[in-house]
Structure 1
């Protein structure tokens, strides 16, 4: 039987209901009296024949998926799985990319077994992109009085990472069940359904505190990134705030880069819109390069051809064109401004609380001459995500342009504290120097400009 649905969620829900009903019907029957179905579900265009029959590649893939399913099971294409993940309470097994009969491209397949009892169903949870758990940081001093500070770092990081668009962050209550226990990150990855673990330690002395952090891939156990912070002991809450905000900013950039590399490694010829958008942002997070940033634009456009509602790709496309305008690299100002404004308007319609989208919108207001409005938009972006270093830096820049140079230093200094190794660091110091020039502080200006 072939059935067409207007909604992917409805299709999967109906398939699960059918298989569960058949399992009930078969209970108590000997094996050779049972009726068991296989179901394959695909998302694609179909051609309706004169007699009402459905034809096309979308149908062919669904038929081949049905053939690979277990009796009583359901096989989904990646196009289907991406649509229902997070919207339905299902556990899927990743069967990898397979060659299906008479289908030219490899197909990424996921399977679910709703007819089997939960305890008997062999499965692994397919972890979402940008999924992470922050394990409780370890207090290396063993000083119980320092526990509240160490636990505070863990909790604040969990909160701050949750602000990253598209991130899936395990709640602190679950994370803290691992406190003080030896852990295998690969087991945690399978149990919690996450791709990454952030772990770390805190060690204190009389004058300084040292924080170590590592980002780990739960599939391989490989360390993807590590950082160490040495801070003078000061107000404990200010110190905690600075460490966690800086960590959150850096980890967010590293997560996007890791996801871009994963997509290139696992699906080089079959990337979906999310993969392409991640790869584009991994490029934009590097130092400014007109040629390389143009490659990011190509990736965002390719993502939007697959999914014109992908917010990360819409924001990335607007950011690229806005940056061309800001750096005077544009060869077609009116057209680039039109493309950028259309993209960011759609992104904000789809995700009105996306801080990065508001930051990019502020860029476009700035290049359009609406500097006061741009500053208000940046302040709104910062209210949504206090760790958005770019927004703090641009707020300082716009205050210089508006004749408020005395206010700029706080914003620019905040950006540098949040992202002390940012590719834009030279520009931020230059802006501090320019603010000093406006205020007549020539020696300070020379130091910063140098």
Structure 2
């Protein structure tokens, strides 16, 4: 019997290792480990994410990462080494933490857990071993891909015999501290790059400083969870505290495209928060929000404030990047540009016609880079939405495309919470309801602020015959993201749960709210038609039915009955009331 072929792919491998780790630990074990953890969290992880890399694994003193692009890998390495030079400034030589980095383009074996194996990895590790402290070594396979595309001086080290590597390897060394003389160095700020400046305490009350600083720190942490975001560490951001700032200067100094600033003011039993998102290139205010909140537990207040802001700012950043790409390079967009434009569409209230344009953008992105995680997740999300809203006219094909895309996305980014959310969606439409709920719960462990996952967890409890539990999850989603583009759907889901439980008055209120917020989705109209008919509101039922059929002329009671998504007996029994209501409203029966 033939053994199964291993899963292989061509990828860029980056290996990094701390110089003199044993010596540093021997001299100051706790201090060294604490600094390494801080460097990973505040510097290395955000840089790798900003350049669309994936950390494969870490060791006590090093890490292995992969990139779809060699240019991205080298830029990540250069940014890391330059940032480490700044971090070590002023420290005695024996206390500095320096890294060696090796980069190789090679064929690797992909293990089931996402680990990478093979000579492609081994060469990168051996290149790291011969790099100078603070330096970078590239194989010729990698260097050929970046020649002329980076402004760093490269030295040809000739052919090297690397340990345990059979063939000689042509090696090139980069010194990030020395730009190439012929090419002026101009830093291009990464996409989705932002610094959260310390919020201002307008009360001037020193006792409130810790709360205001806590908002800044928590917001910095939450924004860093956005896939692809490059967020300046809080230690750097706090050097601007209580100083007059020019956001354009900050943008140039820190290499970021956006600044977030704000203020907190107390008054009696309330707290008022103001926040603004500013483009550092133009100084233009892209978004602003102000909200009041009753005073409560300090940590509860911080959590609610930062969660609301992080979700909204994440949406605004993606939209701003989409507009920037259309403005600056309308005829020369790369895969990241196209994927961001797609997500800018999906981050608006659901519209199946408009979302088709997002699907086209994701397809175009994947033709340029079939490893773009955001495009893969977006493509699966689009097809899953079509299936979930009963709008699909080619169910099997859309499910196949979505499953292939999300499987690849999770292979490339197993820790991506949004990818697990989309996977849960596909399990849901496939009828694997309990598995879907477990996948949502896992997504929430990865990102506790993922409001979409909380909302869908509530709806899945309806499918599992636990409709009375749905409201807690859905209202939590609304608390986390009170202006979410999915708000119309969440009101609809609350109305559906009420309908299942026979609470017709509450169901009507919530379903009306749903179609008021977003009149472009068919299913809430059909549920509203059913609830209205069951309540004896024949005219409202006809109006809702007709609105639904204008949006989805192929909808029938039979089609809805055949896609029931769960075999739970309580759910099936409760669903009968919907069939009855749809029939009373005059929705076509179908067959």
Q: What TM-score, normalized by structure 2, do the two folds share?
A: 0.58
Matched, 1:169 2:231: yes
Matched, 1:84 2:84: no
- Match of 1:329, SS? coil
- How far did 1:8 drift? 7.9
Tell me if structure 2 keeps the 8 A contact 1:196–1:216: yes
1:114 aligned to which of 138, 148, 153: 153
Q: CA–CA distance in 1 between the matches of 2:487 and 2:152?
A: 52
Q: CA–CA distance in 1 between the matches of 2:392 and 2:505?
A: 35
Tell me if structure 2 keeps the 8 A contact 1:124–1:190: no
Q: CA–CA distance in 1 between the matches of 2:495 and 2:352?
A: 25
Which consecutive unaligned segments of at least 5 residues does structure 2 have?
1-9, 15-68, 83-147, 155-174, 513-591
Q: CA–CA distance in 2 between the matches of 1:310 and 1:414?
A: 31
- Match of 2:343, SS? helix
- How far did 1:125 drift? 2.1
Tell me if structure 1 keeps the 8 A contact 2:495–2:511: yes
* Counterpart residue number, 1:125: 187
Tell me if structure 2 keeps the 8 A contact 1:253–1:282: yes
- Match of 2:260, SS? strand
2:479 aligned to which of 413, 417, 435: 417
Matched, 1:287 2:349: yes
Cα distance, 1:9–1:191 mapped onto 2, change above 3 Å:
farther
Cα distance, 1:181–1:404 mapped onto 2, change above 3 Å:
same
Q: CA–CA distance in 2 between the matches of 1:203 and 1:300?
A: 43
Q: CA–CA distance in 2 between the matches of 1:334 and 1:433?
A: 29
Paired residues for 1:241-390 under 5 Å: 241-390=303-452
Paired residues for 1:62-81 under 5 Å: 81=71
Cα distance, 1:232–1:264 mapped onto 2, change above 3 Å:
same
- How far did 1:442 drift? 4.9
Q: CA–CA distance in 2 between the matches of 1:359 and 1:8?
A: 28
Tell me if structure 1 keeps the 8 A contact 2:263–2:273: yes
Which consecutive unaligned segments of at least 5 residues does structure 1 have?
1-5, 11-78, 92-108
Cα distance, 1:361–1:114 mapped onto 2, change above 3 Å:
same
Tell me if structure 2 keeps the 8 A contact 1:229–1:243: no
Task: Number of aligned residue pairs: give it.
Answer: 360
- Match of 1:397, SS? helix
Q: What RMSD, in angstroms, separates the aligned Cα atoms of the two structures?
A: 2.3
* Counterpart residue number, 2:244: 182
- Match of 1:416, SS? helix
* Counterpart residue number, 1:42: none
- Match of 1:213, SS? strand
* Counterpart residue number, 2:201: 139
Moved over 6 A (4+): 6-10
Tell me if structure 2 keeps the 8 A contact 1:131–1:169: yes
- Match of 1:372, SS? helix
Q: What TM-score, normalized by structure 1, do the two folds share?
A: 0.75
